[in-house]
Structure 1
Amino acid sequence: MLMARRDDSRSSNPQAGMDQTSDKMNTGVKVALDELLALSAQARGSSLAEVRRSSAARTGLHASRWRGRGVDFRESRIYQAGDDIRHMDWRVTARSGRPHTKLFEEEREHGLLLMMDFNPGMRFGTRVRFKSVQAARVASLFAWMATASGDRVGAIGFGGGIHSEVKPASGRRGVLQVLRALRDWDHAATSERESLASALERARRLLRPGTRLVLITDGFSADADAWPVLARCAGRHELGCILVTDALEQDPPPPGRYALIMAGEKRTLDFGNRTLRSTWSRPFETVHETARREFIRLGARVVELTTDDDVRRAIVPFTERALGPRDSSA
């Protein structure tokens, strides 16, 4: 669906603004690189929540959620075939009469992988900007914060004919690569659709131990096949989700006839019709609630972001504490 307009002689045609080539006319419709660069100022003094800081720079800045062979002792467990005999816990073995091996907490450099949804539904908005533009803005803010903490940052684009990726890299160079990709992907997006499950298969190749995965979407690309894949990711990575919505998806517009473009076809909807008004928001609510519920079930932090929200304020739950099973509205 593209932006709706009131079908009367007083309203202007938003589509005309999309046809303009100047940056001024495209404000809110196309991703602008200068706007993404400017968001670095809002990232100053903030960082994404982490499990624990470490002074051992040689082994990375963050404590891994994994249990393996690393720096800090974690626990002892029953010896399993293939365990290194050099890490046998002889005291526990002697006390229990059963062979035990020591486990350690590995420390790894964190990374951030942003999954960006460019499916056609993201190219829509009635307040300030398109959902796709707001998604790019929040992604850039995440990238600046991750880079400021010394983390690697990368991105993968899906939907809209985008099948590209930026491998995680550290420093200013890493974040600039992501920002340029966000701009280029947004400008090149088509009406082609791709499911989240399909995109996740590509994303898994970029995920390394210690990498956070944050999905930025409106939820409509999330198919049933995606949840088992995400469940496997949740066992090894921190997950987060930004659900981008528009005011029109939450409430119908004022009564009147509106011209829309849906699936490439022009249609007119009469929002003076009581039945349409009473059922309009239901499909959007179902999609958003399903995505929200499933991500929370997987232990992910979920934040809902409207197209006119202050992105810095909206992502506070990602900076206050580590990602957890409670959602930001709790």
Structure 2
Amino acid sequence: MPVVADPRVQVALPELIALRSGVMRARAPEVVSHAPRSGQRPGRLHGRGMDYAESRVYQAGDDVRRMDWRLTARSGVAHTKLFQEEREGRLLILLDTNASMRFGTRTRFKSVQAARVAATAAWYAIRGGDRVGVLAFGAQHHLLRMKAGPRGALAVCGALAAWDAMPPGEDESLSAALQRAGRLMHGASRVLLVSDGFAVDDAAYGRMLSLVAKAEVRIVTVADPLELAEPPAGRYPFAHKGVHYDIALHGERQRAEFARALGDGHQRLASLASRLGLRQRIVDTTAEPLDAIVDLLGSSRGR
């Protein structure tokens, strides 16, 4: 009989596809202009789009075919119409696959939760009309180029499951990943970083600053509950590469040091986000990621 993958420690494609139903019931994304730009705030494009934005006093060089004749007649001053142009957005998901992601004490590994976050983001992005792609960094170095519609989201889900099943490579720093992302963005207007933060290095700030100049960046920190709070006293069984061992945490100092070590990743990522003013949500391994994705990708409020 075929071996059935354990969805707690391995990414299961059917589960990623099933996330679509929850996304379809969630609040729909706002439709905004995703034209390439500098800086974090979305541009409001006034041109020959289909959606009327506002009228203003006529200026030399304005297209006379866009005159607002009713307002001109009422005010006695020539006015021209401005239109908000809608363009297709592009979301690049930057997915951490470093060895630290293959850890979990509650419900599932961080690597599995990260895939669920990425799949939810993909389904939500295509619901808003965006193209979506994924760049894996860390133990896997792969790029799934931008694709639109349900096929795009399905391609993301398939890639996430396939990459998770591959033999791992060497770890990679966040700065190196961001440098690759800057070269491979292919016009992405938004970037969603999904990581546990242990890859954050000193050079990541400068690389992220460069990325922020090109796209709107959001961060989802994936964490195990044990990484978010000091553990109670007790013995904790762990397994690593087939080796099983126990860690005894009885004293206050032991538990505090253990908590600092495990919490270092999400704290480093939180510090990076704070320094750059980037919006961030923490999703632990027991939670459903939909609320965090809707909050981060549901609108472009620039905060």
Q: Secondary structure at the match of 1:283?
A: helix
Query: Which of 156, 181, 199 is 2:135 aligned to?
Result: 156
Corresponding residue for 1:29? 9
The CA deviation at 1:301 is: 1.4
Whether the 8 Å CA contact 2:239–2:245 is kept in 1: the answer is yes
> Is 1:245 aligned to 2:219, yes or no?
no
Spell out, residue by residue over 1:34-71, the C-alpha distance to the aligned partner (whole angstroms, 9 max, x if none).
00000110111546755x54xxxxxxxx253638xx96
CA positional deviation for 1:179: 0.8
Q: What is the RMSD computed on CA atoms of the aligned residues?
A: 3.0
2:164 is paired with a residue of what secondary structure? helix
Deviation string, structure 1 residues 153-193 (Cα, Å, up to 9, x no partner): 00011112x11110111122211111111001111142621
> TM-score of the superposition, structure 2-length normalised?
0.77
Percent sequence identity over matched residues?
36
Contact 2:135 2:143 in 1 (8 A): yes
Please list, as runs of the form range in 1=range in 2, the aligned pairs for 1:181-192 lying within 5 A after superposition.
181-190=159-168, 192=170
1:229 to 198, 207, 212: 207
User: Residue 293 of structure 1: which of 255, 271, 295 is its match?
Assistant: 271
Secondary structure of 2:150's aligned partner: helix
Is 1:240–1:323's contact at 8 Å kept on the other side of the alignment? Answer: no
Q: For 1:193-212, what aligned pairs fall within 5 Å after superposition?
A: 193-212=171-190
Q: Specify the alignment match of 2:35 in structure 1.
A: 64
In the alignment, the residues of structure 1 paired with residue 45 and residue 280 of structure 2 have an alpha-carbon distance, to the nearest angstrom, of 32
| Unaligned segments of structure 2, at least 5 residues | 39-43, 48-59, 63-82
- Cα shift at 1:263: 8.3
Deviation at 1:320, TM superposition (A): 4.7
1:109 touches 1:210 (CA, 8 Å); kept in 2? no
Q: Which residue of 2 aligns with 1:120?
A: 99
Q: Aligned match of 2:157 in 157, 179, 184? A: 179
Indicate the residue corresponding to 1:215 in structure 2: 193
Distance in 1 (CA, whole Å) between partners of 2:228 and 2:294 is 23
| TM-score normalised over the length of structure 1 | 0.71
Bigger mean CA deviation after superposition, 248-257 or 136-145 = 248-257
Distance 1:107 1:65, change over 3 A: farther
Query: Aligned partners of 1:237, 1:157: CA distance in 2, in Å?
Result: 18
In 2, the alpha carbon distance for the partners of 1:214 and 1:63 equals: 15
Shift of 1:266: 6.1
1:31–1:263 distance in 2 versus 1, CA, 3 Å: closer
What whole-Å deviation, never above 9, does each CA across 1:213-244 have from its counterpart, x for those lacking one?
10100000111112111101111200011001
Which structure would you say has the larger RCO, counting Cα contacts within 8 Å and 6 or more residues apart? 2
How many residues are paired up?
Answer: 266
Aligned letter for 1:72?
H
Moved more, 113-122 or 253-262: 253-262
| Change in CA separation of 1:319 and 1:240 when aligned onto 2, cut-off 3 Å | closer
Amino acid at match of 2:35: S
Contact 1:197 1:222 in 2 (8 A): yes
Paired amino acid for 1:38: A
Q: Given that residues 232 and 255 in structure 2 are in contact (C-alpha distance below 8 angstroms), is that contact kept between their aligned partners in structure 1?
A: no
Matched, 1:314 2:288: no
The one-letter code matched in structure 1 to 2:300 is A
Counterpart for residue 142 of structure 1: 121
**Corresponding residue for residue 282 of structure 2:** 304
Shift of 1:310: 1.8
Structure 1: runs of 5+ lacking an equivalent: 1-19, 54-61, 74-88, 92-103, 326-330
